Amino acid sequence: MDHEVLGSIVLLAIVSLISVLQNAFFATKVEHESKNYNSKTFQRAGSSAFERVFTANQNCRDAYPTFLVVLWCAGLLCSQAAAAFAGLIYLFVRQKYFVGYLGERTQSTPGYIFGKRIISFLFLMSVAGILNYYLVLIFGSDFEVYIKTVTNTISPLLLIP
């Protein structure tokens, strides 16, 4: 594969692989809690601790396809570095959500809200990239440099709670 092509997607691939490891970690937690409750096999019904782990895992799995789509769209259409940074922050927030859900459910709320903000940012990056494509196609005006500058400048603001 061409090094230039690899260079334009390598950060997105790294974030995607880290997210796979995180999903494996969540699944391991569900399996471990299931075995603690019933040592023979995996069962859906169980203790309240198992229910919390299972629900947190399920909630994270439900949002996972959306995260991957907006991560890759934002990275390919707009700015790989800003999208990868936002993706890493999202993974950290998702970890905070998962661990918060294991305690009191109200502890998971900040992680959930922060995660929504990051998904929205990645979505807006994707839309900006698509709009830029059509501006080039229709009017011949390329705003890619400006869009990358704005997204790279705004992405650290995602750290503000």
Domain ranges of the chain: 3-158
Token pair for 27? 């699944």
For 75-141, the DSSP string reads: HHHT-HHHHHHHHHHHHHHHHHHHHHHHS-GGGGHHHHHHHHHHHHHHHHHHHHHHHHHHHHHHH--
pTM: 0.85
For 3-158, CATH gives 1.20.120.550
Question: What is the per-residue burial (b if ≥16 Cβ within 10 Å, else e) of 47-80?
Answer: eeebebbbebbebbeebbeebbebbbbbbebbbb
Q: In a structure prediction context, what are the per-residue pLDDT tens digits for the chain, which is 161 residues long?
A: 677 878 889 999 999 999 999 999 999 998 888 777 665 555 555 677 788 888 889 999 999 999 999 999 999 999 999 999 999 999 999 998 888 888 776 777 788 888 999 999 999 999 999 998 988 888 887 788 888 888 888 888 877 76
